[in-house]
Amino acid sequence: ETVYLNGEYLALADAKISVMDRGFLFGDGVYEVIPAYAGKLFRLEDHLERLDNSLKSIRLQNPHSHEQWRTILSPLLKNGQDQSVYLQITRGVAPKRDHAFPQKVTPTVFAMVSGITPHSDPDNGVKAVSMEDSRWKLCDTKAITLLANVLLRQAAVEQGCAEAILFKDGYLTEGAASNVFAVIDGILVTAPKSPAILPGITRDVILEIARKNDIPSSEQAIAKADIQKASELWITSSTREIIPVVELDGEKIADGKPGLVWKMFYKLFQEYKQSLR
Ligand code: PLP
């Protein structure tokens, strides 16, 4: 398996960085995950714009132009396959461990690809559990500092669930590694963009699909009590696309099967992917 590290393509086992890297010592870096369908990067410009925003948030310059990123990532993709690209930029290797930014360091740039397995089972969905959102106030930055997300997801997994659905001050934010949609009173709803959530690219695509197909949708504050009225609940992300949640906190959602709106969006999402090939 070939990965990219600081200008070189290497076997994964040969890709090594210093223990003084700011990513290792402080989680001082940002990342992106970009799906590629049939070997073609999906909504690359959107992902690179979000990367620019994340870098701006941590006051790090993008070491590459969007065109350079395309050139760097393309050789990692296997012809015709569905894969996801992980890329990460840290502030680099500093001479000593000091919280404040080091002077004149070169960012560490890493990228690798892995397989992708979207949910496509119309008969079964996943279970989720609600939790208090214990994260920080910069959730719109795709920072590699993911300890809260790791602990939340692990707690969900230990309860036999696929995702932790997070609430802050009684309102839905997102999942530990996903955005969340619900169908409430026939309207597809999701939390509005704010520093409390990551602006998911899959989230954008779903809202676009809703608008194009005249399916009522709304970005709005969603209280925990509203979720209890939901006829459908979904989690969305680049690597998992749209997954129906059929049980929350041990309670079935509607009849405990993926809903009709999910089935429709699953199909529309696949059609949209095909149209970009
Ligand atoms: N929210 C969080 C916290 C995430 O980690 C992710 C990505 O995995 C998402 C939302 C979904 O974003 P995207 O659809 O761009 O993958």
- 204 and 250 belong to one structural domain: yes
Domain count, the chain: 2
Answer whether 126 contacts ligand 1 (Cβ < 6 A).
no
Q: Cα(73) to centroid of ligand 1, in Å?
A: 20
Task: Out of 86, 115, 144, pick the residue that ends a domain.
Answer: 115
Q: Is residue 120 part of a domain?
A: no
The CATH number for 92's domain is 3.30.470.10
pLDDT at 64: 98
- 16 and 136 belong to one structural domain: no
pLDDT at 121: 85
Q: Which domain holds residue 24?
A: 2-115
- Average of per-residue pLDDT across 24-48: 97
The CATH number for 213's domain is 3.20.10.10
Q: Under a CB-based contact definition with an 8 Å cutoff, are residues 33 and 86 in contact?
A: yes
Res. 96 pLDDT band, cuts 50 70 90: very high
- 228 and 98 belong to one structural domain: no
Q: Cα(95) to centroid of ligand 1, in Å?
A: 33
- Average of per-residue pLDDT across 95-107: 96
- 8 and 108 belong to one structural domain: yes
Task: Out of 94, 115, 136, pick the residue that ends a domain.
Answer: 115
Q: CA-CA distance, 208 to 46, in Å (whole number)?
A: 13
- 69 and 22 belong to one structural domain: yes
**Dihedral of alpha carbons 162, 159, 24, 58, sign:** positive
Answer whether 35 contacts ligand 1 (Cβ < 6 A).
no
Q: Which residue in 40, 104, 142, 168 is the catalytic one?
A: 142
Percent of the chain with pLDDT over 90: 95
- 12 and 70 belong to one structural domain: yes
- 56 and 141 belong to one structural domain: no
> From atom 5 of ligand 1, which residue's Cα is the shortest distance away?
177
Reply yes or no on whether the pLDDT at 138 is more than 80.
Answer: yes
- 227 and 142 belong to one structural domain: yes
Res. 123 pLDDT band, cuts 50 70 90: confident
pLDDT at 132: 98
pLDDT at 120: 78
Percent of the chain with pLDDT over 70: 100
First to last CA, the chain: 25
Tell me the pLDDT tens digit for each residue of 178-224: 999 999 999 999 999 999 999 999 999 999 999 999 999 999 999 99
- 34 and 108 belong to one structural domain: yes
Mutate to test the pocket of ligand 1, among 53, 168, 179, 240 (most ligand atoms within 8 A of CB): 179
Tell me the pLDDT tens digit for each residue of 53-79: 999 999 999 999 999 999 999 999 998
Answer whether 174 contacts ligand 1 (Cβ < 6 A).
yes
- 87 and 151 belong to one structural domain: no
Q: CA-CA distance, 125 to 259, in Å (whole number)?
A: 9
Q: Cα(98) to centroid of ligand 1, in Å?
A: 30
- 146 and 225 belong to one structural domain: yes
Answer whether 83 contacts ligand 1 (Cβ < 6 A).
no
- Average of per-residue pLDDT across 266-272: 96
With a threshold of 0.95, tell me whether the complex ipTM lies above it.
yes
Task: Out of 115, 142, 158, pick the residue that ends a domain.
Answer: 115
Q: Cα(87) to centroid of ligand 1, in Å?
A: 14
Q: Is residue 179 part of a domain?
A: yes
Tell me the pLDDT tens digit for each residue of 148-185: 999 999 999 999 999 999 999 999 999 999 999 999 99
Residue 142 is among the residues annotated as catalytic for this protein = yes
**Dihedral of alpha carbons 187, 193, 196, 200, sign:** positive
Answer whether 200 contacts ligand 1 (Cβ < 6 A).
yes
- 166 and 84 belong to one structural domain: no
Q: Is residue 121 part of a domain?
A: no
